[in-house]
Amino acid sequence: MRGPHNIWRLIRTGATFERTGAMKAALDALNAPGRVRVAARILGWPFAWLGYKGDPSLPPVTRAITALGPAYVKFGQILSTRPDVVGVELANQLSMLQDRLPPFPTERARQTIESALGEPVGALFSEFSDPVAAASIAQVHRARRIDNGREVAVKVLRPGIEGAFRRDIDAFHFAAGMIERLSPATRRLRPRDVISHFESVVNGELDLRLEAASASEFAENTTGDAGMAVPRPHWHLSARRVLTTDWAEGIAMSDVAALRAAGHDLQLIGTHVLQLFLRHALRDGYFHADMHQGNLKVAANGDIVIYDFGIMGEIDEYTRRVYAEILMGFIRRDYERVARVHFEAGYVPRDRDIKEFARALRAVGEPIFGADASRISMANLLAYLFEVTERFGMATRTELILLQRTMVVVEGVARSLDPQINMWEVARPVVENYIRDNLGPKAAARDLLRSAQVLGRFAPLLPEFLERRMPELLREPPPPAREPRRAGIITGMIAGGAIAIAAMLAGLWLG
């Protein structure tokens, strides 16, 4: 229930950050200005005693986030991939949130499995380990199927996780509503819609049957992609609170030293991660939307193993084309093209000046090109982008939230492997291939054929429609000014019928 009782939850959030020392650590990492530090101190210090104590053995920010609950951990996971935003030290501290949280007892996991699958664990698996990884929502056990000896990963939801997430998200909804009421200027960012989107994503993670379906679909989409592997789900050993998949063997992508010691080319892996994400987003419109290091491994042969499909992103074909055009415009430093695409797609209100918007985009893009990638401040770049969106009244588009967030995360993963990586140069071949296949003459012909096929499907309905509507149209005594319109309607019907019939014949001929 999104009532005022959530004020208490938000106060405890600030108090927990103050009590654990996370407030100062976070402000230091973000280089917060003096006035922000003073305000945080004044607001946090009196309530510090109300905060959660957390685990004293953990670093301050990690200690605060883990004490506050799973929804906060999700945000911490995102920050852990951005050493260029929060600093290397804090990013390293937060990396434990990806898969090294405190596990719950193995016996509880066994009880959950037996309840969900209806059989004792010993009847399903000849081996069943203690937790090998634990994250905000679930933990993973290594096991071996008793029927065929195959090694598998068994993922089990944390006890009571559904209620914990509901409480956190309830407080987020309340905070978003308060922000919109107290600061009307923030409404263009649609904070309540953003939280609703986050809620829908989390709810999907809490049903492991949906994750199994996502893994299956993603594996089918990427069957022909070289240099990657996807663990397949084992359906009869999965349920709402349990998911069994192939075991993903490899070195965790977070262990850079081990990857280097094994002889892997870190620069190549970083490039491959970025290009895989872009290819899946643009080509398929269906992509892994939680590609932090905790969900990636590198196999002995150099393949990138992608797993944990709790959060997936999906974008329609039109949005993919817009996104590709924007990326291509930045890559080619054609800021007028980028601005025009934003206006044509309705991302920027039409009463704004397109030339001025193009100049603002130039100020965002130009510092990237020709600069040493390690010297580019992503924090400053994101801050300036935020200023641009505010100045031009751009509303937050919830359908792009996962895409934008994942882009930031994936770039962070790639940069952890190769600090000199240039996202734009790496993206160029993937985006160019997509544009060639989807925005050129071949794509136009394919779109026309698809439209004709749709008309062809409705062709059998045209005779009945014409018989029913033609007499009514012909009996109407419209004024002369309307006569051309009626003629146009009739002509359009006849033309549409002709196109539909032609499409049916073409379909038969092509088939």
Separation in Å, CA 328 to CA 82, 316, 339, 488: 24, 18, 12, 40
In which order are the strands placed within the sheet that holds 251-252? 228-229, 304-306, 296-298, 251-252
Q: What is the pLDDT of residue 466?
A: 67
Q: What is the pLDDT of residue 489?
A: 43
Closest CA to 156 of 184, 129, 181, 190: 129
Q: What is the pLDDT of residue 485?
A: 44
The answer to whether 154 and 128 have CB atoms below 8 angstroms apart is yes
Report the catalytic residues: 290
Q: What is the pLDDT of residue 397?
A: 65
* 462 class by beta-carbon count within 10 Å (0-12 exposed, 13-18 middle, 19+ buried): middle
pTM: 0.71
Longest dimension (CA), the chain: 86
SS3 state of residue 126: strand
Write out pLDDT tens, residues 148-178.
Answer: 999 999 999 999 888 888 888 887 788 777 7
- Could you give the CA distance from residue 248 to residue 235 in angstroms, rounded to a whole number? 17
Quick one: angle between helices 401-417 and 191-205, nearest 10? 70
Sign of CA dihedral 483, 486, 490, 495: positive
Domain ranges across the chain: 6-98, 102-135+137-247, 250-439, 444-510
Rounded average pLDDT per 10-residue block, the chain, 511 residues: 67 84 78 68 72 86 86 74 66 74 92 96 96 89 95 95 83 77 66 76 86 95 93 96 95 93 95 93 91 91 93 87 83 88 85 90 77 57 63 69 77 87 83 81 65 68 70 58 44 40 37 38
- Could you give the CA distance from residue 330 to residue 327 in angstroms, rounded to a whole number? 5
Q: What is the pLDDT of residue 263?
A: 95
Separation in Å, CA 208 to CA 97, 106, 245, 261, 454: 20, 19, 11, 35, 36
Q: In this structure, what DSSP letter does residue 105 have? A: P
The answer to whether 298 and 261 have CB atoms below 8 angstroms apart is no
Q: What is the pLDDT of residue 110?
A: 97
Write out pLDDT tens, residues 222-246.
Answer: 999 999 999 999 999 999 999 999 9
The answer to whether 328 and 433 have CB atoms below 8 angstroms apart is no
